[in-house]
Amino acid sequence: ELKVEQNPLFLSMQEGKNYTIYCNYSTTSDRLYWYRQDPGKSLESLFVLLSNGAVKQEGRLMASLDTKARLSTLHITAAVHDLSATYFCAVDIGNEKLTFGTGTRLTIIP
Amino acid sequence: EPEVTQTPSHQVTQMGQEVILRCVPISNHLYFYWYRQILGQKVEFLVSFYNNEISEKSEIFDDQFSVERPDGSNFTLKIRSTKLEDSAMYFCASRYRAGTEAFFGQGTRLTVV
């Protein structure tokens, strides 16, 4: 059974700082997605990573995928308050469904 | 921009009652999903639907649950006899094909009392 783990589960960081969220998964896959969820809201697609070594950037967020290590990272650069949210990675092992990670609740402190 | 829409946004029901959650996926998408999220927890897969049939379901999706695509645009989730532990946010999602991103609706918050 595929397991997807994220760490940390909770992260408080100051504005302007950099940090990385990690997503580990247990079964070979070259398809990984990052989503953002604001409290009480839906899941917003951030990044689609479809090959080993894939790197995508949007604003202060950058995601990467290492399929050999079964690891994806979401790097936050110079955090600002409006990045506060819960971030989920989701893995696709080719059986159509997405298996979500545990989530990382990010709080940016002024 | 096309989006997945869900109705209602919030449903309160008594234990033992039947509920139907409705979704309109993005029109050219072929794969449809229901997920649920208990408050503060991770997003759990319930069922996937492709080519007018269930392609996979989780252990949560027992005989009390069913899905239907009655008219080529709506995609529904029925819970026959709700239990307290069915209280959660239910998300519908769709995607064009495997390997593309899934788009999620805004969710239906189901409260069973």
Does residue B105 contact residue B92 with C-beta atoms inside 8 Å? Answer: yes
The reply to whether A59 touches chain B by the CB within 8 Å rule is no
| Model confidence band, residue B95 (pLDDT cutoffs 50, 70, 90) | very high
Mark B55-92 as b/e (b = at least 16 C-beta within 10 Å).
eebbebbeeebebeeeeeeebebebeebeeebbbbbbb
Residues of B in contact with A96 (CB under 8 A): 31, 48, 50, 55-56, 98
**Mean pLDDT throughout A96-103?**
91
**Mean pLDDT throughout A46-66?**
94
As a whole number of angstroms, the distance between CA B12 and CA B29 comes to: 30
Query: Is B42 within 8 Å of A31 when comparing Cβ atoms?
Result: no
Residue B112 vs residue A51, higher pLDDT: B112
